[in-house]
Amino acid sequence: MKTTYMFLKNKRPFILWYSLLICINATFAQSYQSLDALTDFNNPSAAWQVVGGVMGAPSDKTFTSKAGTGVLLCTPKNGLYKAGDNLISNLEHGDLDLSFDVMIPKGANSGVYLQGRYEIQVFDSWGITRPTSSDAGGIYERWDDSKGKGTEGYEGHAPRVNAVKAPGLWNHVEVSFIAPRFDASGKKTANARFAKVSWNGMVIHQNVELFGTTRAAAFTDEKPLGPLMIQGDHGVVAYKNIRITKIGNSSITMSAPVKYQIYENAFTREKTGDVLAKPVAKDLTTLKPVLTGETSLIDATVSRRGVQYFVFTGKFKVSKTDMYDFKGNWHGYANVWIDDALVLSDENTPWYGLGFNEETLGKKQLTEGEHSFKIGYTHRDWERQMRAVALYVKNANDTEGWQGLHEKKSEIEFSKTVLNEVEPMTQPIFQRSFVVFNGKKRTHAINVGFPQGLHYSYDTKQGALLHAWRGLFLNTTEMWHERGEEQTAEPLGISVQLTGRFSLINKDKLDSIAESELRYEGTNLVDIEGQKTPQFSYRYQNTTIKDWVQPTANKQGLQRTISLSTTLPNMNILLATASKGIQKAADGLYAVDGAAYFIKLPAGTTAVLSKKNGQQMLMVALNSSVFSYEIVF
Amino acid sequence: MKNSLIIFIAFLLFTTSIHAQNGVTEADFYQLKTLPIPANIELEVGGMATIPDGRLAVSTRRGEVWMVENPYSATPYYRLFAKGMHEVLGLNYHKGALYAVQRGELTKLTDTDGDGEADVYQNIANWELAGNYHEYSYGPVFDKDDNMFLTFNVAWVGFGEAKLSKWRGWLVKVTPDGTLTPVAAGLRSPACVMMNAAGDIFYTENQGDWVGSGRITHLEKGDFAGHASSLYWTKEPESPMTLKKEDVPDNSEPMYKAAEKVKNLKLPAVWYPHTMMGISTADMIEDVEGNMGPFFKGQYFVSDQGHSKVMRMQLEKINGQYQGACFPFREGWQSGLLRLSWGNDGSMFGGMTSRGWSSTGKDLFGLQRMIWGGKTPFEMAEIHAMSDGFEISFTKPVDKATATKAENYEINSFNYKYHHFYGSPTIENKAHAIKAIIISDDLKKVRLVLDESRRYFIHEIKPKGVKSQENEPLLHEVGYYTLNNVPANMTADLSKNAMVAAMPAINHTDHKAMDMKPATKDKKGKKGAVASIKRQLTMPADWSAPDKTLTIGTKPVMKFDIDAVEVKAGSKVKLIFNNLDNDMTHNLVIVEPGTADEVGNQAIKLGIKGSQVNYVPNNAKVLYHTALLQPSSSESIYFIAPTKPGNYTYVCTYPGHHTIMQGILKVTE
């Protein structure tokens, strides 16, 4: 009866169908349990130490570190393959949602074992185009010596794509794990499962069932609970932000059936007879419901005809007095009352914006025991004939995770399968589209893809690099499926966010050239090493500026070149901006924004670091008429 | 499987172009040739331009420009000339170069290295966008000074909104140096901007808010074409007018009443009555050469995307203003007919796409060519306004006996509401009496003197019973004339004319809505059956409960959500019909097996009367039906299932829907 739903933490902001207004999910303090101290682990070996930060270039096999806390750094002291160097958590877990950041030096090998048994491989796979189960993100093979040499490994799962970044950069990994189930006699009734694994934002596994433990597990048997294990016996590796966002199952339960009443003609218009005016709910006490009934959980699919107003009422129980978070996700317009207090509300949503997938969040203090909820809902859909209401609740101060009070079928379901995929074959390809950057649509953007598997997006109006990514090129589903209401295209690979502003900035004020002063002249396809490469042309006063990007020869990143018809001595070139810092990793190499990517300068160039409006800026003085730099990730 | 495919194709052929009763069809005069398209090309046509050297340039919604070489043959060759642009809905060829209109940019495409592919995408001008999908941009047309004209859709946020980005809902002019200035406002969804041989600019408009029905309007500087949202930008210094949205009457009176108060408000030259002509006016080209026959020389051809057809338009100038008539011309194109372009041989290319907007032509996209075969169809060639009525000129001499009988004509006039609501019903409908009919000596002109001259009204002119001298019926029996101006001194002298035939007034509006009257007889003759009527909205008193309740809904792709339902012969049925569509009206009509197309075609021919009868024709093959339901509404009807088992059809007979919107009511023993 009890239903638990995963909290999709990295849910992509859903862009409203109707206009420029883009809603980002409200940032919501998410409770989690950190494993960032050595005391969180059972008898850690001397290989592990807590440091304040680590740094390395892509060619470095070790890291330099600085004192402090927050980062778990492994440096084996007594040679490799000493099992004692593996880090085993004190915590034992069953179902678990976990996220962590990992930095992998050149040639390194590590792994994260759920329940000490099921491994997500951590490996320096940078540059590998066809990853296997032993590459970063792989679910490692199981192992059976009796199968004979060369065939011992079986049931490994390669990641869908190689999503690993360069050595010296942090990778962000999220794992949602479902533990195996056992009956009273201890017999396994359901296999363990990786519900979802994503690496640097790319989903690399979904619903992968495991028939047993993977190779080099801490245990060969399977159990309801086990510790988390981080491999430390294969060499240098660093972890941080190891966070348990959900463990076990919610203790919140439904305590009565859900009653529903459905009304028709429940609205009038602000202006009589005006179908475009805002609908105003009538007094329900004057109306008779056209349909009433009971379900065990909230279910908005009980009726589907005309324009209806649904009222759901029900009760749930919480096991302790505490602050509780509520989350609603519906297709249409709803208000939610808990114990008669309005907790989730669409009151201020513009009525014509209804019908999109946006989470509504709220909080309420609850005492131990039973509480009531009431939902008033109308679908008021324009494009889709969907009835969907989902209501989640969780204790704000623990990691039990969200408890859904609704049927799975009552959730919004949009197909997010890539229907239209654009790929460069032998020549660069480009596709103009809207591109979402920092939550806003850039309307004059272009996406450029190279056969080398490196791609970028760019704002032609502002001469601005938006994103760089590696992998497949472009998902154009939101442009070419039906009417293409979003008109946005999305990267199909691991991406890094770049400056989003023009790179010529004046030296004093550190401002970019204003869009009004910069005229986009057009795009020329120029032959660069046999590839017809887009080159963007701008006019600024009497200067013609050419701006183009191509993959680096070693395919480790993108090279951007800016050339000017006259020199502009009052200008700097802006290479990167960062709120999480810019650090020098080696000569001419800077790790940007918490080591999300590197900027590599040509030899002999002096970088200028400055700060404005809380953002660090990496620049070079514009002394020549041509300048190139690399973005490595 | 194979059999059903053959049947399906046969069905398509059968349903295409059924018109004149003697079996003569549009296809006998105008033949369609389908250009093969390679399987890997999604040729969702957004723009088209004929190149003088024989190539056809086609731009797509996916941002490409294809050069179709050798397009006048069964073996065209497709070469990718440009790519990666943002939804190119306008393409033109001017002085050796192609110009493409993207969503936010007018781009000149040039192949400088001679490899057959553009390598320079020059920004001639760009403009603001808010990021709304409905901010489509169209054009360019060139004037003699190389200035370019473009039209901009308003955004769609549940209604047409122009204020999200500048000059939405405007006709704009771009000078060769790239300066963009506004010219005329009031546009909603202006899929085509064109300039005729006289140098006048016209645009096509789609039904929607502020737009009661499709229409074509002549635009001059400072004109306001009716959609009020764009007036938000008259606050800008470049605006050629100061008119504000608040100044525009929004009271559902006809548009001409508003034009009496608002001097900038420009009345359409020709209205395209919704569903009677088409549903989404798209492109427009002028036939300067008489490519479609010398009898249509100087006329215009207008495509309709939703109805996959070409319509014909004839303009005249009265009191210095354009006005005229539109006529059906050639339907049965393969997909949504967005673009028309003259081929170098005088044939007409049609470029098509239906993604996101279902069309009568079922293909997702396509490219076809229409050729006049040289024969003369019997048609109304032109309709001219007179002081006291109209003069119709025919393509062939008329048969005097049929042409002088008033009962062979129907003349109705009507108007549309002007308001911010979506669309409009026809209003102030009137059936006209014919006072006199005068036939010209060459028998090619018929003068109709009417009881009343209704300035500003749309006139449905239907010489349905008039035959040619060779006894042919008209290929199309209707035209719609927009009478903005009535010419002076064009009154017939009835006393001097020998061919006068005075006619009694006849009342055409006595065609009652079918749901108002029970069917004359219970044809089933089933003992004890309730009196059968075709639209029973309450459960008959002698039923305790229905034997079966059926629920049928609609999908936004012009489909029913259930392909087949089953009932027992003679059982009591309650049918709940939910129109779940968001912007289309539908009905549900249950008809005798195999008669859906007959009934559907008859519904189309109802013309102006259709909306009064829920688009349900008076035909014994119609067994039961619902009303025409607005989007997001529902109706339940009660009926006794037919006693004879078989596969009956339920069909939506709203014009343009019946060929694809069908399902099977299986009646079992």
Quickly count: other Cβ atoms within 10 Å of residue B538's Cβ.
8
Contacts of B119 in chain A (CB under 8 A): 524-526, 532
Nearest to B632 among A20, A307, A482 (CB): A307
The three-state secondary structure class of B604 is helix
For the record, the structure tokens of A340 come out as 């008669």
- Taking the Cβ of residue B157 and every Cβ of chain A, the question of whether any pair is shorter than 8 Å is answered with yes
Query: Would you place residue A574 in the very low, low, confident or very high pLDDT band (cuts 50, 70, 90)?
Result: very high
Contacts of A19 in chain B (CB under 8 A): 130-132, 155, 157, 161, 164
Quickly count: other Cβ atoms within 10 Å of residue B593's Cβ.
15
Task: Note whether B431 and B459 are within 8 A (CB).
Answer: no
Task: State the smallest CA–CA distance between residue B131 and chain A in angstroms.
Answer: 5
Quickly count: other Cβ atoms within 10 Å of residue A343's Cβ.
21
CB-CB under 8 Å, A430 with B422: no
Contacts of B131 in chain A (CB under 8 A): 19-20, 434, 441, 443, 487
Contacts of A479 in chain B (CB under 8 A): 62, 87
Contacts of A433 in chain B (CB under 8 A): 86
Task: State the smallest CA–CA distance between residue A561 and chain B in angstroms.
Answer: 19
Separation CA B434–CA B461 (nearest Å): 11
- Mutation target among B86, B128, B552 for the A interface, most CBs of A within 10 A: B86
pLDDT at A306: 65
pLDDT at A270: 62
Task: Note whether A620 and A92 are within 8 A (CB).
Answer: no
- Taking the Cβ of residue B252 and every Cβ of chain A, the question of whether any pair is shorter than 8 Å is answered with no
- Taking the Cβ of residue B631 and every Cβ of chain A, the question of whether any pair is shorter than 8 Å is answered with no
Contacts of B159 in chain A (CB under 8 A): 276, 352
CB-CB under 8 Å, B102 with A276: no
| Kind and range of the H or E run holding A478 | helix A477-480
- Which amino acid type is present at position B282? A
CB-CB under 8 Å, B551 with A487: no
CB-CB under 8 Å, B126 with A461: yes
Task: Note whether B433 and B375 are within 8 A (CB).
Answer: no
Query: Would you place residue A169 in the very low, low, confident or very high pLDDT band (cuts 50, 70, 90)?
Result: very high
**DSSP letter assigned to residue A382:** S
Separation CA A168–CA A60 (nearest Å): 8
Nearest to B131 among A274, A443, A482 (CB): A443
Contacts of A461 in chain B (CB under 8 A): 126
pLDDT at A308: 81
For the record, the structure tokens of A551 come out as 């993959």
The B residues from 413 to 472 touching A (CB cutoff 8 Å) are 420-422
**DSSP letter assigned to residue A157:** B
Task: Please give the radius of gyration of chain A, using alpha carbons only, rounded to the nearest integer.
Answer: 27
Query: Would you place residue A380 in the very low, low, confident or very high pLDDT band (cuts 50, 70, 90)?
Result: low
Nearest to A434 among B117, B131, B355 (CB): B131
CB-CB under 8 Å, B553 with A385: yes
CB-CB under 8 Å, A532 with B131: no
Least confident among A158-167, A397-406, B347-356, B528-537:
B528-537
Residue of A nearest to B42 (CA): A480
Task: Please give the radius of gyration of chain B, using alpha carbons only, rounded to the nearest integer.
Answer: 26
CB-CB under 8 Å, A307 with B420: no
Q: What is the mean pLDDT of residues A370-389?
A: 78
Q: What is the mean pLDDT of residues A427-446?
A: 95
CB-CB under 8 Å, B104 with A446: no
Q: DSSP characters for B174-192?
A: E-TT--EEEEEB--S---E
pLDDT at A8: 27
The three-state secondary structure class of B294 is helix
The B residues from 39 to 68 touching A (CB cutoff 8 Å) are 61-63
Torsion of CA B513, B518, B521, B526, to 10 degrees: 130
Separation CA A494–CA A203 (nearest Å): 10
Q: DSSP characters for A292-333?
A: EEEESSB-GGG--SSSEEEEEEEEEEESS-EEEEEEEEEESE
| Alpha-carbon distances, residue B131 vs A459, A480, A485, A522 (angstroms) | 14, 15, 9, 21
User: Could you report the per-residue pLDDT of A490-539, keeping only the tens digit for each?
Assistant: 999 999 999 999 999 999 899 988 888 999 999 999 999 999 999 999 99
- Smallest Cα–Cα separation from A86: which of A232, A226, A217, A220? A232
CB-CB under 8 Å, A485 with B164: no
Separation CA A594–CA A170 (nearest Å): 8
Nearest to A306 among B85, B119, B633 (CB): B633
pLDDT at A29: 55
pLDDT at A303: 82
Contacts of A444 in chain B (CB under 8 A): 104-105, 126, 129
CB-CB under 8 Å, B420 with A432: no
Average pLDDT of chain A to the nearest whole number: 88
- Mutation target among A525, A536, A546, A548 for the B interface, most CBs of B within 10 A: A525
User: Could you report the per-residue pLDDT of A91-114, keeping only the tens digit for each?
Assistant: 999 999 999 999 999 999 999 999
- Residue count of chain A, please give it: 633
CB-CB under 8 Å, B422 with A275: yes
- Which amino acid type is present at position B302? V
Nearest to A305 among B108, B130, B578 (CB): B578
- Taking the Cβ of residue B580 and every Cβ of chain A, the question of whether any pair is shorter than 8 Å is answered with yes
pLDDT at B604: 84
Cis peptide bond upstream of A491, omega within 30: no
User: Could you report the per-residue pLDDT of A71-91, keeping only the tens digit for each?
Assistant: 999 999 888 888 889 999 999
Q: How far is CA B308 from the centre of its chain?
A: 9
Separation CA B624–CA B642 (nearest Å): 10
Contacts of B62 in chain A (CB under 8 A): 476, 479-480
Query: Would you place residue A211 in the very low, low, confident or very high pLDDT band (cuts 50, 70, 90)?
Result: very high
As beta bridge partners, residue B565 has B665
Contacts of A276 in chain B (CB under 8 A): 158-159, 209, 420-422
- Mutation target among B133, B179, B209 for the A interface, most CBs of A within 10 A: B133
Residue of A nearest to B156 (CA): A18
Contacts of B188 in chain A (CB under 8 A): none
Separation CA A13–CA A24 (nearest Å): 5
Residue of A nearest to B127 (CA): A444
Contacts of A352 in chain B (CB under 8 A): 157-159
Task: Note whether A502 and A461 are within 8 A (CB).
Answer: no
The B residues from 95 to 154 touching A (CB cutoff 8 Å) are 102-105, 107-108, 117-123, 126, 128-133
pLDDT at A14: 31
For the record, the structure tokens of A111 come out as 């792994």
Query: Would you place residue A285 in the very low, low, confident or very high pLDDT band (cuts 50, 70, 90)?
Result: confident
Query: Would you place residue A6 in the very low, low, confident or very high pLDDT band (cuts 50, 70, 90)?
Result: very low
Contacts of A521 in chain B (CB under 8 A): 122-123
Contacts of B83 in chain A (CB under 8 A): 429-431
Q: Which residues of chain B have pLDDT under 50?
A: 1-21, 498, 502-532
- Taking the Cβ of residue B159 and every Cβ of chain A, the question of whether any pair is shorter than 8 Å is answered with yes
Task: Note whether B586 and B629 are within 8 A (CB).
Answer: yes
The B residues from 555 to 574 touching A (CB cutoff 8 Å) are 555-556
